[in-house]
Amino acid sequence: KLFEDFMQGLLRGCPTRKWKMFLPVEFQIVRQGHTKFDWHLLEKNVMYRWYNKLDQTIRNFWTVFHKLPEQKKKMFLAFLSGSDQIPGYGLEHFTFSIEDAQAENPDEIFLSANTCSCILFLPR
């Protein structure tokens, strides 16, 4: 009974005729996002504001990031975007910004993120 109720609600919101346009693997990506990550491609797609990619803070950030285990990198992605998955359109189109938090004393503020806009506020 519970499953039937669930299935009725699901089919009302997402009729099966629309599912047929996808191959099973494509539908899984649409529903769950991508599960394989090219973290260097993520780095390549970053935009910087009040930083450039050669600043020591940015180089330190990426050095530390690439040394993290896979699970911690996914946790960072969740911190940044609200999800540990890459949307169905793919990592090559996923961009985020790293901005200088512009604090008078950067040692007194924490790393923060705006998940709606995928902005990482990185103190110097």
Catalytic residue among 110, 116, 117, 124: 116
Confidence class of residue 12 from pLDDT cuts 50, 70 and 90?
A: confident
Q: Region 44-56: what's the mean pLDDT?
A: 92
Q: Where are the domains of the chain?
A: 1-32, 33-122
Which position has the higher pLDDT, 98 or 27? 98
User: Is this model's pTM higher than 0.75 or not?
Assistant: no
Question: What's the CA gap between 17 and 30, in Å, rounded?
Answer: 16
CATH number of 33-122: 3.30.2410.10
pLDDT, one tens digit per residue, over 27-42 is 666 666 556 788 898 8
The reported pLDDT for the residue numbered 106 is 79
For residues 96 and 70, give the distance between their C-alpha atoms in angstroms, rounded to a whole number.
19
Q: Between 75 and 93, whose confidence is greater?
A: 75
Percentage of the chain lying above the pLDDT 90 cut = 35
- List Cβ neighbours of 124 (8 Å cut-off, separation of 6 or more): 57, 100, 101, 106
| Amino acid 8: pLDDT | 81
Is the Cα torsion angle 55, 43, 117, 60 positive or negative in sign? Answer: negative
118 is catalytic: no
Nearest Cα residue to 123 out of 1, 108, 73: 108
